[in-house]
Amino acid sequence: MTDTDNASSYIIEDALTLTLPEFSTRPINQSANSILYGILSLAQTTAVDIFPIIHQPVLGDAGIGATTVIKQSFIGDGFELVFKEVESGPAFLRELSFLCVRSIRQHPFMVTLQGISWNIDDTQASPVIRPVMVFEKSSKGSLWSYMRSEVGRNLTVVQRLSFCIQVAIALGDLERLSKKVHISVM
C-alpha cells in the first residue's frame, strides 16, 4: 500500500461524517458509540497502540496549543508523554486519521503519534470519558521554548537555518498531504 493509498483510506467528507472504506461504504453516524467504534477501528487498522495510562495532574500542563491544553505524564528514566485532548469526537477522528497516515507517522521532522488513551473528567455530576492522543514529550520542550532558552539563543546561523528548513519541509509535506486527506494545515 502506498502513502497515497493509505492517505485516501480515511477521508473526511465533512465535520460530521467519517467514511472508513475498509469496513463500510456508508458514512458513520456520529453518535457517541459510533465515534468510539470509529476511533477503535482506526486505531486497530493502523496499528495505533492504546495505552492504559492517563496524564498526571500534579505535573501541570506541558503547553497550550491552538485548540487544546497539552497534559503530561512522567513514565521513568527521563521518558515523558504528553496527552492531547481534542474538543469533539468528530474532530478527534479527523486528527487521528491524519496522524495515522504512514508518511506522517514516519516523517523525520514531525512528532510521532505514540498511541491513544482516555481522559476521565469526574468533575461533573456524570463523569465524561474523552479520547486523547499520546505523544512522546520532547526532552528540550517546544521549539518556541527551546529557541528562547540559553542554548537556543546561542545557536549559530547555520543551526537556526537548519531548524527553518526542517519546519519548511514539514509544512510543505503537510500542505501536499492535506489535499489528499482533506484537512486544513493552518
> Residue ranges of the domains in the chain?
3-139
Mapped onto helix, strand or coil, the DSSP state of residue 42 is: helix
* Angstrom distance (rounded) from CA 43 to CA 97: 9
* pLDDT reading at 134 higher than 80: yes
The grid cell for 183 is 484537512
Q: What is the rounded average pLDDT of the residues 80-88? A: 82
Q: What is the rounded average pLDDT of the residues 118-128? A: 79
Residue that wins the pLDDT comparison between 164 and 184: 164
Residue that wins the pLDDT comparison between 166 and 181: 166
The answer to whether 83 touches 132, Cβ cutoff 8 Å, is yes
Burial class of residue 79 (count of CB atoms within 10 Å of its CB; 0-12, 13-18, 19+): exposed
**Superfamily classification of domain 3-139:** Phosphorylase Kinase; domain 1 (3.30.200.20)
* Angstrom distance (rounded) from CA 109 to CA 116: 21
Bridge partners, 133 (sequence order)? 84, 116
Residue that wins the pLDDT comparison between 79 and 180: 79
Residue that wins the pLDDT comparison between 179 and 156: 156
Does the reported pTM lie above 0.75?
no
* Angstrom distance (rounded) from CA 150 to CA 173: 31
The grid cell for 121 is 473528567
The per-residue pLDDT of the chain, averaged, comes to 75
